[in-house]
Amino acid sequence: MDNLKEEIKKEENEDFSGNYIEKFQDNNAEEFFSGNLLSWEKQQDSFLFHGERATLQITVVSADILKFRHGNDGNFDDDFSYAIDPSFKPEKPRYKFEDLKNTFVIKTELLKCYITKSNLSTRISTLDGTPVLEDEKGYHWQDHKYYGGTINICTKVLHEGEKFYGLGDKTGRLNLIGTKRELWGTDCYGYGNDTDPVYKNIPFYMGQHSHIGYGIFMDNTFRSFFDFGKERSSVCSFWNQGGEMRYYYIHGPKLIDVARKYALLTGRPQLPPKWALGYHQSKWSYYPESVVRKLGEEFRSRKIPCDVIHLDIDYMDGFRCFTWDKDKFPNPARMIEDLKEQGFRTVVIIDPGIKIDKDYEVYQQGMKGDHFCQRMDGALLKASVWPGLCHFPDFTKKTTREWWATLFKGLVADGVDGVWNDMNEPATFEEGTFPNDVRHDFDGHSGSHRKGHNVYGSLMAQATCEGQKKFMKDKRPFTISRSAYAGVQRYASVWTGDNMATWEHLKLANIQCQRLAASGVSFAGSDVGGFIGSPDGELYTRWIQMAVFHPFFRTHSSGDHGDKEPWKFDKKYVDIVRQFIEMRYELLPYIYSVFHNHSLTGTPMVRSLHLEGHIDPETFYREEEFFLGDHIMICPVSEPELKSRRMYLTSGQWYNYWTDELVQGGVEITVDTPLNQIPIFIKQGAIIPKQPKMQFVDEFVFDQLALDCYKPIATTKSSVYEDSGDGYDYLRSEGYVIKSFKSTIQNDEWVITQQLEGLYDSSYQLYQLRLHGLESKPTKLEVDNIDLLDQSVFENGVLIVELPKSFKKVIII
């Protein structure tokens, strides 16, 4: 593989500081293969096939997940992972094993895995023989001449028409076919559509070439590469530059099933505080205190909803983490308390760099506790970030994560509600990141920064999350992380980094959030309006309209590129922006319910069309349309002055959100896009909960929850999840309620039923039912055998009626 050899040479031609140096290298490295089978054995649910040069271990994790490990020379690394959720406990699998003449076969309830005795190559098919994944060269490796260890490579057959998705926050086209991608977390300020690598390192992709989708998760934290037919159009390959080759095969059949199962494997998030799903306002930087207070007053006086104000690095004393600049913020606790009274939560930024300052308590503790990263000769790593020269915690050490967690006591006592981790790729000013010779504990599985780099940001986020939990007691933590490895969703939300105020970046943010959601990280968003540069009013408005439907919803900007508060634009834009942020708050019951489902099942909140369309070829290359939950489809406007746009509706029937027009799916349509609208469609039969417009989450107690019910063509299920919005009471039946609705047509009657799970009693007592899709006023409206037609109102094709929230059955004729 010529490109592989170039990457090996590139890394080998770096000295320990990461600088490129001229150095002769043999570009024709020898490749080693497992060889013929010598023997095999079974250990619990694992099979070990010993070859002449390597051992293959296959573990049946479940009926739909197989774990592959390749041990060069018969030796395996410690089976240790930061990515796999410790609580992942699948049912004990049932399978059969057959020893045939030329192959072994492992057969589960869903798939068959063949192992060839002559070379230990593998092939996976469905039970009916449909090929899904098969080795090309298969597993092989090269010795790493410069660093030691091996470069571990897998090559798979790339089938005609195969599509690939995933890999976290990668830029470029949503379908990865024909590209090569690198995972090495990078501070890529002002990145573009062709930039690679970027911030996050999620070595998980999905593929599909028949009616069966599958996923590959390569659990390895070293610098990694994925080639989806770029070098050889008939081959998909993935490799890493250290450790061992360990990967999981995840069987669909649908890609959305693959995404869900991957999320179960690497972990699901706990519910965030509900306010975290509101609108966030941020800038580098809001200071001093008077500016922050004025910001809050502007939001409230202008009636633009907002829940969260973010403070960037200038709130600190000389950029020292866990401190306040007492000149700029003389009484932060009082300021934060006053903001809370106005309905604002405060999130502060924390970076990993700890300033080298003998009078700085955090530095003193870090030195005393041996918490800072060391070079290979024992000297402490020194590198510059915002405070100047810094040391950096080794977050791969448990005691260091525990120490880091204790540092949040003061910020939590001051009333801080959430923490935003930045610069945690890790990024430094001199060389971009740590030198390769930096040593990491890796929780007792020590290694260099080559091993620790890609997981550093996730472990910082974990320690930050645990610190908030430690001191917030009965409140839920809220953490944001710029860098990430697989499994980060258990601890943090993410954003897409330092983007730009361009139309290209609006579209790119959409693709990145879809890709992240498919990669287990649904709680994601972008810097609305672009971090770098100044958007005009139209671009900012269109970005807001899209971001309303992303789980993390924040405007952020670099102050030296102009302000991006909503009111900084002409009034016509401000009014539309206000309208869409209000829409976000109206839809919070729906968004919160979608998040709850994600936290239970792992199903992505934001979904690309191919996740829903599955075998519909029209969805394979669609990038802009996406779903939020089961029932809302959105297509942002990503070009200026666009009066209409084309979009594809997946199969089924859909109601235009703005007009209530019923449209047949499975076709491309043209939709009007005046400045105050983007295409939004609601699935037939859906029931969408809405609350009144608010300036912040739980601003007031309302007495009715609106249920927008769209007439079904086929039976459709919807649900509403409710709890107190914070704390952990929801973990008990008394602390939550799930309201499950079924909407169907039975003998020309529209029937809506409700079932309840949980004992939480919402503050409102009534539903306002809004029945869409009626051609005329019904002749009968029966609620639990009581006729309420006379109490209803029929306006513009919508029937509106109030009814008790405890209803069991509604019949409309």
Residues 6+ apart with CB under 8 A from 712: 684, 685, 743, 744, 745, 750
Kindly calculate the radius of gyration of the chain based on its CA atoms and give it in whole angstroms.
27
Q: Is the dihedral of CA 578, 579, 580, 581 positive or negative?
A: positive
Which of 289, 498, 582, 625 does the annotation list as catalytic? 498
Which of 314, 422, 527, 586 does the annotation list as catalytic? 422
Active site residue 498: yes
Q: Distance between CA 569 and CA 270 in Å, rounded?
A: 37
Q: What is the pLDDT of residue 22?
A: 26
- For residue 116, with 0-12 CB atoms within 10 Å meaning exposed, 13-18 middle and 19 or more buried, which class applies? middle
Question: Is residue 661 within 8 Å of 684, Cβ to Cβ?
Answer: no
DSSP SS3 for 614: coil
Q: Is the dihedral of CA 162, 165, 171, 172 positive or negative?
A: positive
Q: Distance between CA 136 and CA 150 in Å, rounded?
A: 20
Q: What is the pLDDT of residue 145?
A: 85
> Which residue type occupies 425?
E
Residues 6+ apart with CB under 8 A from 147: 11, 12, 241, 242, 436, 448, 450
Q: Over 70: is that where the pLDDT of 10 sits?
A: no
Give the count of beta carbons closer than 10 Å to the beta carbon of residue 715: 12
Q: What is the pLDDT of residue 562?
A: 77
DSSP SS3 for 592: helix
pLDDT tens, residue by residue, 389-409:
999 999 999 999 999 999 999
Residue 699: C-alpha distances to residues 275, 309, 415, 640 (Å): 10, 16, 19, 35
Q: Over 80: is that where the pLDDT of 12 sits?
A: no
Q: How many residues does this entry show for the chain?
A: 813
Which of 425, 527, 582, 722 does the annotation list as catalytic? 425
Q: What is the pLDDT of residue 26?
A: 34
Q: Distance between CA 587 and CA 277 in Å, rounded?
A: 10
> Which residue type occupies 615?
I
Q: What is the pLDDT of residue 29?
A: 82
User: For residue 476, how many C-alpha atoms fall within 13 Å in the half-sphere facing its CB?
Assistant: 22
Strand order in the sheet with 687-690: 687-690, 704-710, 766-772, 798-804, 793-795
Q: Distance between CA 431 and CA 14 in Å, rounded?
A: 12
Residue 230: C-alpha distances to residues 3, 100, 178, 308, 627 (Å): 10, 36, 4, 44, 30
Question: Is residue 690 within 8 Å of 705, Cβ to Cβ?
Answer: yes
**Unique residue bearing structure tokens 């709680």:** 523
Q: What is the pLDDT of residue 536?
A: 97
Per-residue confidence at 613, pLDDT binned at 50, 70, 90?
confident
pLDDT tens, residue by residue, 554-573:
999 998 877 899 999 999 99
Question: What percent of the chain lies above the pLDDT cut of 90?
Answer: 94
Q: Over 70: is that where the pLDDT of 524 sits?
A: yes
Q: Over 70: is that where the pLDDT of 532 sits?
A: yes
- Mean pLDDT for 631-641 is 98
Q: Is the dihedral of CA 259, 265, 267, 268 positive or negative?
A: positive
Per-residue confidence at 21, pLDDT binned at 50, 70, 90?
very low
| Closest CA relative to residue 488, chosen from 468, 467, 511, 462 | 462
Q: Distance between CA 555 and CA 660 in Å, rounded?
A: 31
pLDDT tens, residue by residue, 327-367:
999 999 999 999 999 999 999 999 999 999 999 999 999 99
Give the pTM: 0.96
Lowest mean pLDDT among 14-28, 278-292, 673-687, 777-791: 14-28
The DSSP-derived string for 243-282 is S-EEEEEEE-SSHHHHHHHHHHHH--PPPPPGGGGSEEE-
Lowest mean pLDDT among 3-7, 358-362, 768-772: 3-7
- For residue 293, with 0-12 CB atoms within 10 Å meaning exposed, 13-18 middle and 19 or more buried, which class applies? middle
- Mean pLDDT for 268-292 is 98
Question: Is residue 455 within 8 Å of 485, Cβ to Cβ?
Answer: yes
Q: What is the pLDDT of residue 15?
A: 36
Q: Over 90: is that where the pLDDT of 4 sits?
A: no
Q: What is the pLDDT of residue 5?
A: 42
pLDDT tens, residue by residue, 450-486:
999 999 999 999 999 999 999 998 999 999 999 999 9
Q: Distance between CA 199 and CA 512 in Å, rounded?
A: 11
pLDDT tens, residue by residue, 205-263:
999 999 999 999 999 999 999 999 999 999 999 999 999 999 999 999 999 999 999 99
DSSP SS3 for 667: strand
